[in-house]
Structure 1
């Protein structure tokens, strides 16, 4: 597990493509992801990078006139608190911020670190995670189901 932590900690995220990140996540066990999540500074660095990329991977042509606030609650583990990020889609632009605003989200996703990383790296099906109750969706379920159309989700490959 120390190998997984040092492998992720040593990444220069600026040079890692979404596809390479997806392959890295695919190669991690649940225990390794849990170990990464327990390292508070590394967890924050990974979450900040993933959410920072959302703006770049947004597909405005697919979103059209959609206006929505999405709240992501990544449950804490190993003494780490819950992490909250918000994704706002409006006027063909996606913006992301850390923390909870006063605005009411159209949909809120509640999931653990491992499920979140697998979801955003294309290593898990959102439908499967929902059916298995690994992700809780509060609010507009139809928007949640359509969300993958609005972002370029990496394909981890073999």
Structure 2
């Protein structure tokens, strides 16, 4: 399924991470940008992606890591989520908390969707300036090891 119109009717809670990765891979950057122009659909997609982070978390790889990761997603980083990793547990909060993040990741909608679906390389995004990292670069580099990233 790569029909952008069909995405609006899709129940994202019933889509596996691998299916989501295939859907994202089948869409061009232009099509991804069209999808997120629908504010309601964009919000549903982002909430579902972040809701899955807790179940995709690999505590054995994170070890004793304790950190807050702030995600700023969108053209101006207008949507904020935070992922808190604390000694084998992962929790996600929509919006900005009072916690000071160890790292903040800033990226556009299409880049974010490609990244979390395993369809983009974070190093390539960083060096092409489509992913901005503020704070602990080592932690940012380790994030892909802390989560089970689906493959399309």
Please indicate the TM-score interval, normalised by the length of the shorter structure. Answer: over 0.9
Separation in 2, partners of 1:96, 1:152: 16
Structure 2 partner of 1:99 = 95
Does the 8 Å contact 2:71/2:80 carry over to 1? Answer: yes
Residue pair 1:4, 1:36 contacting (<8 A) in 2 also: no
Residue 145 of structure 1 is aligned with which of 134, 141, 144? 141
Q: TM-score, normalised on structure 2?
A: 0.95
1:40 aligns with 2:43: no
Give, in whole Å, the separation in 2 of the partners of 1:7 and 1:87: 30
Please identify runs of 4+ aligned residues in structure 1 that moved more than 4 A: none
Q: Which deviations, in whole Å up to 9, do the C-alpha atoms of 1:99-119 show, x marking residues without a partner?
A: 001111000000000000000
> Could you tell me how far apart the structure 1 residues matched to 2:3 and 2:34 are?
8
The farther-off stretch of 49-58 and 68-77 is 68-77
Unaligned stretches of 5+ residues in structure 1: none
Residue in 2 aligned with 1:118?
114
Shift of 1:12: 1.7
Q: What residue number does 1:30 align with?
A: 29
Contact 1:76 1:83 in 2 (8 A): no
TM-score w.r.t. the length of structure 1 is: 0.92
Aligned counterparts of 1:108 and 1:136: Cα–Cα separation in 2: 8
Q: Conserved in 2, the CA contact under 8 Å of 1:60 and 1:93?
A: yes
Residue matched to 1:9:
8
Deviations 1:20-66 (A, max 9, x none): 10000000011111111110000000000000000000001111100
Q: What root-mean-square deviation, in Å, do the aligned CA atoms of Structure 1 and Structure 2 show?
A: 1.3
Give the match's secondary structure for 1:65. Answer: coil
What is the rounded CA distance, in whole Å, between the counterparts of 2:9 and 2:74 in structure 1?
24
CA distance in 2: counterparts of 1:105 and 1:14, whole angstroms: 28
Q: Please state how far the C-alpha of 1:76 moved relative to its aligned partner.
A: 3.7
- The count of aligned residue pairs is 151
